[in-house]
Amino acid sequence: MPVILIADACKPSLVMSSEVFKDKIAGVTILVATSGKQCLAMLNESNPDMCVVDFDLPDTDGIGLISAMRKTYNGPILLTAFPDKVIEDAVANDLFAWGDAGGWVPKPVKFDVLSEKIDKYLLDKHRIGRRFDVAIETLIIGKGAGRGKRAPKVRGKIVNLSLGGACVELDAPLKVDSGEEMTVAFQFPTDTNPAFEKGTSAANQEKIRAKSQKQKQSKIVQVDEEDGDDASQSRLRCTIAWVDRKCTKAGIKFSRLTDAQRKGIEDLLRATMA
């Protein structure tokens, strides 16, 4: 049965959120945290299927807490908060990269609104199906079979991407099994954001965005086998989520990302969503 972690210091809001989950999912387990510190501790211990985080916590705000949670947790997170421009800006600018794995639930929490988010992000597994189209060359590196034996390497192209993982089309078959640990050499584009000069009209800005998007879709970013560890070029640890019968297309799930790697993916997703 699903395990849900709710971080909320407001009892009426906490009770309402809990009841919605209990009404929708028989046998659901609800874990309750009343502070950000407690939430992070429980998150590491329980690995819940979904988290609900309130903006107004005694020791932190929901935006900062979610950012901290995202360093180790890739599952769906919902933010509960009263409507406010600060919240709207934070959702749009700080939490955008997880648009496929989370959302904002306005307070006071209403059954229908939270219920729709549960259907979308938990029951229908929206995150698994929603990624962003990209075209980035990569190198998949397996583990060596033994001492002195070189690890298998196959070039490919990342065709869609999210913070949780990616889909890779391989140039040659690579026999791997689901759950197998791999490394993906990944180079982040450095010129994805169009620059607007002061005074550029809205119409011209739109033309620049369209041109940049077209260039971005057609551009394939090269990656060398001897890559570095900076934000623009790095090796990401991952596991194989699935592989097709021909072993030429695979879904990968990222392991823990460094701050630089996460920022590189966020920048790319921001440009993709612009």
Strands across the sheet with 77-81, in order? Answer: 29-33, 3-7, 50-54, 77-81, 102-106
> Is the distance from CB of 77 to CB of 66 less than 8 angstroms?
yes
Q: How far is CA 187 from the centre of its chain?
A: 17
Q: Give 38-71 pLDDT, tens digit per residue.
A: 999 999 899 899 999 999 999 999 988 988 888 7
* Alpha carbon distance 175, 50 (integer Å): 33
Q: Which residue has the tokens 């950012």?
A: 67
Q: Is 154 helix (H, G, I), strand (E, B) or coil?
A: strand
Check residue 195 and give its pLDDT: 35
Domains of the chain: 3-128 (3.40.50.2300), 132-273 (2.40.10.220)
Instruction: Label residue 245 by pLDDT band (50, 70, 90).
Output: confident
CA atoms within 13 A on the CB side of 87: 17
Q: Give 173-195 pLDDT, tens digit per residue.
A: 888 887 888 899 877 655 444 43
Q: Give 134-182 pLDDT, tens digit per residue.
A: 888 899 988 765 565 677 889 999 988 887 788 899 999 888 887 888 8
β-bridge pairing 165-170 and 249-254:
antiparallel
Q: Give 109-133 pLDDT, tens digit per residue.
A: 999 999 999 998 888 776 555 567 7
